[in-house]
Amino acid sequence: MNAPLPIVVQGLGPIGVRIAEAALGEPSLQVAGAIEINPEMVGRPLREFVEGAPDVAIRDSVATARADAGGDDAILVHCTGSYLDRVAGQLEEALGHGFHVVSTCEELTYPYDRHPEIAAAIDAQARDVERTVVATGVNPGFLMDALPASLASISHGITSVAVRRVQDPSRRRVPFQQKVGMGLSVEEWEARRDAGGFGHVGLVESARLLADSLGWALTDWQHDMVPCRTGGQAAVAGTLETLSGTTSDGRVVSLHFE
pLDDT tens digits, 161-174: 999 999 887 788 78
What does the pLDDT average to over 211-228? 93
Q: What is the pTM of this model?
A: 0.89
- Backbone torsion region of residue 6, taken as left when φ is above 0, otherwise alpha when ψ lies between -120 and 50, otherwise beta: beta
**Phi/psi of residue 122, each to 5°?**
-65, -40
Crossing angle (nearest 10°) for helices 84-96 and 62-69: 50
Residue 21 vs residue 227, higher pLDDT: 21
User: 100-103 and 75-78 as β-strands: parallel, antiparallel, unpaired?
Assistant: parallel
Q: Looking at residue 155, what is its pLDDT?
A: 92
pLDDT at residue 249 is higher than 90? yes
**What is the per-residue pLDDT for 185?**
86
> Which range (11-25, 49-63, 97-111, 156-170) has the least confidence?
156-170
- Which residues, other chains included, contact 208 with Cβ-Cβ below 8 Å and sequence gap of 6+? 110, 112, 113, 218
Mean pLDDT of the chain: 93
pLDDT over 70 percentage in the chain: 98
Residue 68: is its pLDDT beyond 70?
Answer: yes
Cα 68 to Cα 6, 7, 22, 84, 182: the distances in Å are 9, 9, 19, 26, 39
SS3 category, 164: strand
Position 231 scores a pLDDT of 64
Number of Cβ within a 10 Å radius of residue 254:
16
pLDDT above 70 (res 184): yes
**Confidence category of residue 150, pLDDT binned at 50, 70, 90:** very high
Was domain 5-135 assigned CATH 3.40.50.720? Answer: yes
Amino acid 89: pLDDT: 98
92: CB partners within 8 A, 6+ apart: 121, 122, 125
Average pLDDT over residues 14-43: 97
pLDDT of 93 above 80:
yes
Q: What is the predicted pLDDT for the residue at 1? A: 64
pLDDT of residue 180: 82
Q: Is the pLDDT of residue 69 over 70?
A: yes
Percent of all residues in the chain with a pLDDT value above 90, rounded to a whole number: 77
Per-residue pLDDT averaged across 135-150, rounded?
A: 95
**CATH 3.40.50.720 in the chain, residue ranges:** 5-135
